[in-house]
Structures are given as C-alpha cells and as structure tokens.
Structure 1
Amino acid sequence: MLEEIFERIKGMILKPVETLRTAANDEISFTFVYFFILLAVYGILFSLTLSQFGMFLMMNNQIVVVLLTMLGQMIISFLAGTAWLHLWVYLLGGRQGLKNTFRAVGNSMTPVLLLGWIMPMGIIVGTIWGLVLEILGIRELQKFTTTRAILAVAIPMIIGIITLIVYLALTDPRFLASLTGIFQGH
C-alpha cells in the first residue's frame, strides 16, 4: 500500500492527468488512506515549522491539541467541501457519482498537503496547483469539458467567498471598516 501511495504522489506531480484517469478505478478506501497519510505528513511538517525548537513542539500538549484540532477541521472541510463541490458538479451535468468527485478532490489535495507547510509560498503555490488539479480531476473523472470543470470548481468557491464577506460585514464592524478604507484608497 505504501508503494502505491508513493507512486500516486509521483504521478500527481509528474503525470497528473494520466494519474487522475487511473484514479477512477481506485477503491474509495484507497483515496481515504491516501488523503489521511498526506494529511498526517502535512501535520507533522507544519508543526515542525511552527517551532524553532523542532521536537519541542511535539512535547507540548497544548500545541498537540491545536494541531489535532486543525487536522480534524481539515478532514471535516475536505468532506463538506467535496459534498458542496459535488452539488455543483451534479447541477452542471456530472453523473459519474460522488465517489469520483471525492477521488478528484482527494488526489488534487496532493500539492496543498505536500507544500502547504512551507510558509508563505508553499500555501500559495500548493493552493493554486491544487485548484488546477481539482479542475483536471473533475474534467477527467466526471467526463466534463474543461470549461464545465472550471465552472464546477469556481461557482462554489465564489459563492463561498461572497458568503464569507457578507457574514463578516454583518458580524464584524472592523471588517466593514477595513473594506471601507480599501474602497476609499486609504
């Protein structure tokens, strides 16, 4: 199994489209294991970057709780985000099933989880690369055109961003004040 994980990582880096096409045949349990192993590696590397003392962080109970909470939130976000994305995939005509959307998202997380712990460029590069892979994954696994795959990924993101902005504007006066300053050129 570990060899398959390393081959998948290598494939997502060197031959992502071909690798995503083969992901359609994956057992859903493989995608779960793949994601969780990458998430664990991310958690370890991220915790080490937060500490100037390396292993000191791993011995601090408070930091371990924060790290486990963050990883739990990432798992919940992964599952909820996949469901939200699949709603839009389905509305745009995707009929290859939730499992294929799950496979696309799980595999597209590779660069985010491998690079996201490198501040700040790893987050930026990993996120952009991950979005490109997600679009390719939806295209390949849901049998979409590239345009339809872009729409399927972009629409829920845009709605989420707008919802967040509206929520912050309604609940945090400092956020609204900062927006006002941006639009006034201050």
Structure 2
Amino acid sequence: MKQMSNIVDRIKGFLFSPSKTFDASKEDTLGTAFEFFIALLTICAVLSGVVGWLVFHHGVTMFVLVLILGIIGIFIGGLWTHIWVYLVGGRKGIKQTLKALMYGATPGCVLGWIPIVGVFAVVWTLILEIVGIGQLHELSTRRAVLAVIFAISIPLTVPYAATGTWRVGFAMESGSMEPNMHAGDLIFVQAPARTEIITYEEGEALGYKSFDEYGDVIVYRPGGRPSATPILHRAMYWVEKGEEMPDGKPAPHAGYITKGDNNAGYDQPMLGVEPVRPEWVVAVAKARIPYLGYPSIMLKKGF
C-alpha cells in the first residue's frame, strides 16, 4: 500500500511539479526509475487493453504490444536521445537520460490510452522529457530542447528525404508473395515518384530483378480508394485501354496487371480489381526485414 502511495505521489509530482520532482530524483538509481516506469506502463497496458477490447476487439493484443514495445522503445529511444544530449553538452551519463525519459513518460502512460486526449499526452510527455533532461543533466532549457528536437526530427525527416514518403514501411499480411516475401515481413518502400516502376515483362528483357524475381513489387490501393487495404504484388506488365486482360476482356483503362508471386492467377480478375492506374500506386517495395511487421498485424487482426 505504501509503495502504491509513493507511485501516486510521484505521478502527481511529475505531472504538476516536474521541475521540483526531477530535482528530487537526481540521486535515484536507474532501477528505481525503471520500477516506476514499469508500474506506469502496466497501468497503461491494462487500460489500453480495455479500450482495445471495446473498440477493436483486440484487448490482449493491445496489452502485450504496449508492454513489450514500451520496454523496448524506452531503451532504444534513450540510447538515441542520449547521443544528442551528449552533443549539446550533457555529461551526466546515459542513466540520467534514461531516467528523464522514464519519468517523462508519465503523461503518456497515464493519459495516452484515452482516444484524442492521447495526442495532448504526447506533447505533455515531450515537455516533461525536456524538463527532465535539463534538470538531470544540468543543461539550459535551450540545450535540452535542441537535444529532444534533434532526437525526434531526424528519424522523421531522414527517411522521408531518402524515400519521398512519410510511410516508409508496410507489413506483409499474407503468403501471397512467398517465397520472396513472407507474412510478418516489414517491407521498406520508396515513393513511386522517386523511382521508375519496371514490370516483370520489362525486367525479364533487361535482366532486372527485385526480391529474387523479375520486375518491381508495387504497393497499390484497389480503385485508388484511401480506405482500401494496400496490396503488395508484382507489376507483371502494362496494358493500354482496350487491350486484352488475362481474363480475355478488354481493359477498361490503361494500367499495370499485377500478381502475387505465390498466387496461381493474376489480380485481374482473380481479386476482382481493375488494371492498376499509376496514381493508385502508393509505393514501390525496396527491402524487407523478417518479423518486424508482426506488431502492426497483431494490432490490426489480433492473435
């Protein structure tokens, strides 16, 4: 009971008197900060699980993802942030940076599970992290702000600069592209405006392969509908309007004929989609990392 009371007091302190509370936490061990963070994260995971069950019917999935990703994220994020803290003059060690992030996560853990309110909780968390870094590393507010801005902006802007798209990855949800892509893979992509799409037919003539087969794998939304689930399949060849499609019918418009490497037939008409117009293509697949797509799939479909 006393331990719970201490946790509640600390939550109040970090929320409403952060500067004073961080000052009082300078001598805390990393273990003490981690215990506090785990307590907060568990509360957040439970409440997120309740919301996940009520809204998405994936309560257990939400609980597990929040808990696991929260623990992994705090250490990876702490290491990355500390690089910038060090560059702006922070010399109190990585433990102080981790403590600043663990204690600074208080608003996100306490309020982040609430829809809409969670957005404000993220901003509040960033403010607390800035305060914590400044207090624990004895840095000016300006330097602490710079460290956090660099830590956040670079992971956002560098991938966009390299790929031309804010969404740099898609989770492979099925086995339709096996053996060259597998369910659970995280597929890294590039904006179609940044690259030339080469079809299987063209790739065979040029000797160009992507993911161990001729031609490019494209990510497209059937009909160009924003609500449509993206499909990751290979661009096989191009048809002009009126040309014969795989089912023998004339193409209603020009576009790509596509196919999953593991599928027996083409998407047109197997999946009931029309030839893929260039504007329906949202990305071109460039690389994959096994298993990293599972968190996204779990969040969408559950266990």
| TM-score, structure 2 normalization | 0.52
Shift of 1:137: 0.6
Report if aligned partners of 2:163, 2:191 keep a CA contact under 8 Å in 1. Answer: no
Structure 1: where are the runs of 5+ without partners?
182-186
Match of 2:10 in 1: 8
Identity %: 31
Aligned to 2:180: none
Matched, 1:83 2:79: yes
For 1:161, the equivalent position in structure 2 comes to: 156
Q: Give 2:63's aligned residue.
A: 67
Give aligned pairs, total. Answer: 170
* CA distance 1:46–1:65, change in 2 (3 Å): closer
Q: 1:52: how far off?
A: 2.8
What is the letter of the counterpart of residue 110 of structure 2? L
Which of structures 1 and 2 has the larger relative contact order (alpha carbons within 8 angstroms, sep 6+)? 1
Q: Distance in 1 between matches of 2:94 and 2:100?
A: 10
1:118 aligns with 2:120: no
| 2:54 partner SS | coil
Specify every segment of 5 or more residues in structure 2 that has no aligned partner in the other structure, as ranges: 169-188, 195-219, 221-278, 280-303
Residues 124-149 of structure 1, C-alpha deviation per residue, up to 9 Å, x if partnerless?
11100011111111111111111101
Q: Look at both structures and tell me which one has the larger radius of gyration over its CA atoms.
A: 2
For residue 49 of structure 1, report the CA deviation from its aligned partner. Answer: 1.3
Q: Distance in 1 between matches of 2:10 and 2:193?
A: 42
* Equivalent residue number for residue 272 of structure 2: none
Q: Kindly tell me: are residues 66 and 109 of structure 1, through their superposed partners in 2, closer, same or farther at Cα, counting changes over 3 Å?
A: closer
How far 1:69 moved relative to its partner?
3.1
Q: CA deviation at 1:167?
A: 4.6
Contact between 2:107 and 2:122, CA under 8 Å: does it hold in 1? yes
The structure with the largest helix share of the pair is 1
Q: Alpha carbons of 1:140 and 1:42: their partners in 2 closer, same or farther (altered >3 Å)?
A: same
Whether the 8 Å contact between 2:49 and 2:61 is mirrored in structure 1 is no
Q: State the match for 1:97 in structure 2.
A: 93
TM-score, normalised via structure 1 length: 0.82
Q: 1:124 to 1:93 in 2, by over 3 A?
A: same
Matched to 2:41, the amino acid is: L
- In the other structure, the counterpart of 2:36 is 34
Report the RMSD for the aligned CA atoms in angstroms. Answer: 2.4
Identify the match of residue 143 of structure 1 among 138, 143, 147: 138
Equivalence map 1:42-53=2 (5 Å): 42-52=44-54
